[in-house]
Amino acid sequence: MLGGGSWATAIVKMLTENADVVNWYMRNTDAIEHIRTQKHNPNYLSSVEFHTEQLNLTDNINEAVANADVLIFAIPSAFLENELKHLTVDIKDKIIFSAIKGIVPESSLIVGEHFHVNYNIPFENIGVITGPCHAEEVALERLSYLTIACADTEKAKLVAKHLSSDYIKTKISDDIIGTEYAAMLKNIYAIAAGIAHGLGYGDNFQSVLMSNSIREMKRFIKRVHKMKRNINDSAYLGDLLVTGYSVFSRNRMFGNMIGKGYTVKSAMMEMKMVAEGYYATNSAHLIVSKHKNKSKTPILNAVYEVLYENKSPKKVFKELTEKLD
């Protein structure tokens, strides 16, 4: 496990239900020492208590990678490449699963494609872990569902087996590109839902916004990776709904603050957590611009205008209401 945030902590909790030992890398040495002595992460999901004999904690990324055959990354996409630069251990024969919801800014690629292009990892050794699933509900052991995607379904089944428990149900998929783009896009639409809420729009508008969001997501993903998929499956529609509506959604919270008048910088400082959708918005906008397809993504365009062009949320969303149906 590579990452020390809430999602990484939740995944380690899932893994320790089945694995004897989990190698866990995080940069924060104070957090590592706290987990060793107090048995919980002091910064994220602190209610989760670990059996420390099951954890091989380290702040050395090469040590963690060398000791594992399967690597699960949950480092925010904006900071992933900076961490990977410290790697001296060869990872080309490792099985890599991404639990990251975003695009790597240095390459403008989703995480799986980034590993394939820049680290020569074959696609059959790359997978995705996606929701609908919030870390906070995993901590509470509320029934949750994960989609595990990999071109090699046997590897997906292997990871799914290690994540499954009484409170975690898993489903296998071979749509690694589509599920990863969906995991990125739903954060953007959750920001839109948050902005709308912050501006005072009610549940009636939110339902129309989510309905249009899933259709916009379908058009976007079909454009970048055409294959047969059911956009109403949990990995797409389900993940969108929980991120757009849940009180645990940091992207919705971020959008809500923007709608209430916060600047991007002040909202991020107050949250003290990364809202992946902020970075994803810029990356997705670049992809849409490349494909010359902006007329098909009015919600994405609206969020981009608010976050990156400093346009008035009230004015932008008033214009957006005329483009939805």
The radius of gyration of the chain's CA atoms, rounded to the nearest angstrom, is 19
CA dist 276 and 131 (Å) reads: 15
Q: Does the annotation place 251 within a ligand binding site?
A: yes
Per-residue DSSP letters for 168-186? EEEEEES-HHHHHHHHHHH
Q: Does the annotation place 79 within a ligand binding site?
A: yes
* SS3 per residue for 230-278: CCCCHHHHHHHHHHHHCCCCHHHHHHHHHHCCCCHHHHHHHHCCCCHHH
Exactly one of 39, 186, 292, 311 is catalytic; name it.
186
Q: Does the annotation place 252 within a ligand binding site?
A: no
């849940």: which residue's tokens?
246
CB atoms within 10 A of CB 232: 10
CA dist 131 and 5 (Å) reads: 17
Q: Does the annotation place 155 within a ligand binding site?
A: no
Tell me whether residue 222 is one of the annotated catalytic residues: no
CA dist 104 and 96 (Å) reads: 16
Q: Is 146 left (phi over 0), alpha (psi -120 to 50) or beta?
A: beta
Closest CA to 12 of 139, 176, 127, 145: 139
Annotated binding site for substrate: 101, 250-251
Catalytic residue set: 186
